[in-house]
Amino acid sequence: MYQKPIPLKTQDNQPYWDAADRHELMLQKCQTCHAYNHPPGPACAKCGSTELNWESQGCHITGTIYSYVVSYRPFLPGFQDELPTIIVVVQLDHLQEVKIIGNMLDCPPEEIKIGMPVKMIWQDITEDRALPQWIQA
């Protein structure tokens, strides 16, 4: 049984999470300045426009580790059984201006490094919810 908090779907992020539940990456894009807006929000983080739409990026997502932190303490209830937790910021290969945060799975902390190639997978946590996560490519 999944014990960690499940991210809530909101008015601003529902298309992102609905796509994740289908094992697909969907990104918000500004129609005014054409910047990708991630994490999604009510307005473009670059220009402030509210003219936003959603673009599918498919299901084969790769990138490189831009930054990471290794946590040896549970920062929320439910994480105590999966320590250490490696949280990565991944720069997408096909959209280098986009960085996505997630957990690095199946990687010992001593092997993690900036620039490591990774690929996105979707971890089914309930019957109808999936989380984007990262593994070594």
Residues 42 and 71 in one domain: no
Provide the residue-wise pLDDT of the chain in tens; the chain has 137 residues. 778 889 999 999 999 999 999 999 999 999 999 999 999 999 999 999 999 999 999 999 999 999 999 999 987 888 888 899 999 999 999 999 999 999 999 999 999 999 999 999 999 999 999 999 999 99
Residues 125 and 64 in one domain: yes
Domain assignment present for 72: yes
Residues 77 and 87 in one domain: yes
Domain ranges, residue 53: 9-59
Q: What is the 3-state secondary structure (H, E, C) of the chain?
A: CCCCCCCCCCCCCHHHHHHHHCCCEEEEEECCCCCEECCCCCCCCCCCCCCEEEEEEECCCEEEEEEEEEECCCCCCCCCCCCCEEEEEEEECCCCCCEEEEEECCCCHHHCCCCCEEEEEEEECCCCCEEEEEEEC
Domain assignment present for 86: yes
Domain assignment present for 2: no
Domain count, the chain: 2
Q: For the whole model, what pTM was predicted? A: 0.93
Residues 83 and 130 in one domain: yes
